[in-house]
Chains A and B, each alone.
Chain A
Amino acid sequence: GAVVSQHPSRVICKSGTSVKIECRSLDFQATTMFWYRQFPKQSLMLMATSNEGSKATYEQGVEKDKFLINHASLTLSTLTVTSAHPEDSSFYICSAGGQTSLYEQYFGPGTRLTVT
């Protein structure tokens, strides 16, 4: 089956620094990737849709200058949390759309970000 990886799985950073999270589709090409945020005991909230070779589309309320998304290739999308603050601490999950359809998506294992 389709495999999506994320790196790192956990990261701790100091307030004010930036952190980059990678999402890779390992055995298929993904023209579209999605980034979600999950708070403890809460659901996944879609942050943005990332399309290869074009600008990401952000959901309402998500600061695009704070959460920079780059989808430079068909197998890699990155999320950079800029000038991180403790309130950015969360679990970030990416998913990749199927090669021919967004009907099914394949999820990465998530990245736990802790900002101190």
Chain B
Amino acid sequence: GDSVTQMEGPVTLSEEAFLTINCTYTATGYPSLFWYVQYPGEGLQLLLKATKADDKGSNKGFEATYRKETTSFHLEKGSVQVSDSAVYFCALNPEGGTSYGKLTFGQGTILTVHP
């Protein structure tokens, strides 16, 4: 079945540091890939997405590129802020069929940014 593997956290960084959270996936065909963010006490919010190979999703300074050859969708940000402290989830939506819409999530990575 489909699966998503994220780098284990927690990740602790100083403000303005560079961030990378690794994400790899196993799925058939070309799933859509997502990064969701969960701030303390809130629901998951879509951060960015990519639907096909070599697509780059970006939002709020975060970027991730859909790499079919390495089945990866690593999240990056050049300069993190304290307000970026949250839990980040990588997820995939199957290409189609009866499982379409059933998101598979990675285990989540806790990011803490210190001033």
Contacts and interface: CB of A to CB of B under 8 A. Distances in A.
The main secondary structure of chain A at its interface with chain B is strand
Contact of A43 (B41, B46, B101, B107): B107
Interface residues of A, number: 21
Interface residues of B, number: 20
A93 B100 contact: no
Contact of A4 (B43, B101, B108): B43
B43 A107 contact: yes
Contacts of A110: 43
B85 interface: no
Contacts of A44: 44, 89, 103, 105
A109 B41 contact: yes
B83 interface: no
A49 B102 contact: yes
Contacts of A107: 36, 43-45
Nearest to B45: A107
A78 B46 CA distance: 23
